[in-house]
Amino acid sequence: MGADFGYRGERLGLPQEGPGSIAPAGRRIAALFIDWGLCLLIAYGLLSHGRAETVNNWTFVLFGVLSLLTLSTVGSTPGKRLLRLRVIRVDGGRLGVGAVVLRTVLLLLVIPAAIWDRDSRGMHDKAAGAVQVRI
């Protein structure tokens, strides 16, 4: 007797499969790890000067900057682009700088990004009016 909620993204007007459909959770998490790994390599190799205690701080800062710059300009971080994902507004348009800042801050807080709705959108995406889709 459960309610039929349809497919992920249906209530947002997105296709069920293919380009423009909701990005799978596994790909989104993999993209996050790729981006974090890139930031970790840059922090370790260029910014921490061999001090292990500063690597995590620099990685956190670089991840925030990477997200802000790439999402506000091209709509994808390097990890998302590699895995053929994009962050867009729910209406299909490009995210504005304010929405990208809000989304990034909430992502860095972690908890909002870990709470998802039935369309697999994290609270950081909902607050910014964003959705992650396949390219």
Domain limits at 35? 20-134
Please answer whether residues 9 and 130 qualify as being in contact, where contact means their C-beta atoms are separated by less than 8 angstroms.
Answer: no
What value does the mean pLDDT of the chain take?
93
CA 87 to each of CA 20, 44, 54, 55, 57: distance values in angstroms, whole numbers, following the listed order: 10, 28, 30, 28, 26
Q: What is the mean pLDDT of residues 69-79?
A: 97
Report which DSSP code applies to 106.
H
Cα three-residue angle 25-22-13, rounded to 5 degrees:
155
Q: What are phi and psi of 21, to 5 degrees?
A: -85, 165
Report the predicted TM-score, pTM, of the whole model to 2 decimal places. 0.90
Give per-residue pLDDT as tens, 75-129. Answer: 999 999 999 999 999 999 999 999 999 999 999 999 999 999 999 999 999 999 9
Whether 2 maps to a domain, the answer reads no
H/E stretch holding 56: helix 52-73
Confirm whether 66 is domain-assigned: yes
- Residue 28 in any domain: the answer is yes
Number of domains in the chain: 1
